[in-house]
Amino acid sequence: MAEKIENTCSFDIRSKTTFSFDIPASMVHTNESIYTPPFATTYNMYWQLHLKTNHDRQKKSTNDPTYHSLTLNAIPNPDEEISSSTWDDREKFSATIFMKNPYLELEHGALCDSSILDYEFGIENFVESCDLPKTGHITIGVLFDDVKIENEKSYSPLPSKPWPEDLIDAWSNELNQPDISDIQFIVDGAEIYGRSSILSRRSEYFRKMIDGGWTENNCYSKKDGETSATDNDYSGEDITETATIESSENTSLEDTPSTLEIAEENTQQHKSLRHIRYKVNVTDVHQDTFLEMLRYLYTNNLEIDSKSLHRRPIDIFIVADKYLIPDLRQLAKSHIYKDLTVDNAAEILFGQVYKWNDLKNDVMKYVATEFSKIRKTSGYQKIVSNPVDYPMAVALMSELLKLLVPDDEQ
């Protein structure tokens, strides 16, 4: 009897696929905005079509025609919500958006430059509203090229719902409570309290500090060539006196990591803080920034204030990078990217984020895309007029030039 051989080989077949939806014409004329159900081109890449009335504010008279727009909208998956770099996967697709009754087609081409800042593809003035039928159905759809056919079942869900507010509030109330805490942080002169059982589970940095038996005045140091928490493997074993923790991006930072002094507290001498086992002096982080970091470790929730002095996205990013909390670092990175505007992008790139390669690359891409506008801003002119005030001005200008003028065009 011949032996049965199971075919376990993977395959890579590319194909075209079409998604189309029939919408009652009466619904189109009575609703200004209609979204189709979500659909996916890969196990973690979701989309929707959006049909809406386009109210043109530039109309010169009431006799000007009214248009309907048709756009293809990307739905961020959980990874895309916290990292702008993962949006590059969508650029591998090209799409044709179409509408029947009347028959119209838009060859959009490659979905380039997709990001959390701009995730609509299509056209505003797709069809004059008066040309749409009043009865029957209107069909809208999209044709994708180069879709990969998978040979494994997908279990990835649509983006998940946020945590319930009452659960966030309950865990938030556990933070900074001396009576139920065993760690005391002295930050910027203020006392902040936490629980080692929570922090050690949520942060590799604090786990090493608490479970590793650090001694007074000792800091944990990465060995040369060792990967970091942002690489999903922070595993060094050396404990080196008065060492420093390097950035996860291996770049030089102006701010050095916190000096940690860990000592067992005498419960007889400190009856009011009898539960405190560790005392940690944090000398280089503002108390508002540090408390927000701890709040995230307790609740998985982040409250960023872009207009504040110490809870801006860049503040959270720096402290998350320093204390090796990769998910918080990615979340803060995403907020930095969301806050980018033509007016502030140049100063953010040249003045702050150049120290971290992954963050720099995202901001650099945005600056290159909007360079014709950014070069006219006061922020960019300030950099050009005073390059000595920006340590990496020459190197960043060189990188920017390569994006603006690729090698084959130079």
- The owner of tokens 């966030």 is 168
- 92: helix, strand or coil: helix
Q: Which tens digits make up the pLDDT trace of 305-353?
A: 888 889 999 999 999 998 889 889 888 888 888 888 899 999 999 988 8
Per the structure block, which two tokens stand in for 349? 């790139």
Residue 110 has φ and ψ, to the nearest 5°, of -65, 140
Residue 408, pLDDT score: 54
CA dist., res. 175 & res. 198, Å (int): 10
Residue 3, pLDDT score: 38
Strand duo 183-187 + 278-282: pairing: parallel
Q: Which H/E stretch holds residue 69?
A: strand 67-75
pTM, rounded to two decimals: 0.56
Q: Is the pLDDT of residue 158 over 90?
A: no
Least confident of 90-94, 270-274, 404-408: 270-274
Helix residue spans in 157-303 (DSSP H): 165-172, 196-202, 204-211, 287-299
Residue 362, pLDDT score: 83
Q: Which tens digits make up the pLDDT trace of 85-139?
A: 556 677 777 888 899 888 888 776 666 654 545 577 766 677 888 888 889 999 9
CA dist., res. 146 & res. 280, Å (int): 55
Q: Which tens digits make up the pLDDT trace of 48-58?
A: 999 998 766 55
- 136: helix, strand or coil: coil
- Helices and strands (H, E) in the chain, number of each type: 13, 14
| Residue 218's pLDDT band (cuts 50, 70, 90) | very low
Q: What is the DSSP secondary structure assignment for residue 266, as one 8-state letter?
A: -
Compute CA distances 252 → 240, 257, 312, 321, whole Å.
20, 12, 21, 12
Residue 219, pLDDT score: 40
Q: Which tens digits make up the pLDDT trace of 222-242?
A: 333 333 333 333 333 332 222
Q: What is the DSSP secondary structure assignment for residue 83, as one 8-state letter?
A: -
Cβ count within 10 A of residue 141: 19
Report the length, in residues, of the chain: 410
Percent of the chain beyond pLDDT 90?
23
Residue 321 CA neighbour count, 13 Å, CB half:
24
Q: Is the pLDDT of residue 263 over 90?
A: no
Residue 113, pLDDT score: 53
Domains parsed from the chain with CATH numbers: 13-149 (2.60.210.10), 165-326 (3.30.710.10), 340-409 (1.25.40)
Cβ count within 10 A of residue 57: 4
Per the structure block, which two tokens stand in for 367? 């600056």
Average pLDDT on 368-379 reads 91
Residue 318, pLDDT score: 92
Residue 296, pLDDT score: 93
Is cis: bond before 406, omega within 30 of 0?
no
358 vs 220, which has greater pLDDT? 358
Amino acid at 401: L
How would DSSP label each residue in 312-338? Answer: SHHHHHHHHHHTT-HHHHHHHHHHHHH
Q: Which residues make beta-bridge pairs with 68?
A: 53, 127
Per the structure block, which two tokens stand in for 177? 């409570």
Per the structure block, which two tokens stand in for 200? 């050690």
Residue 111, pLDDT score: 67
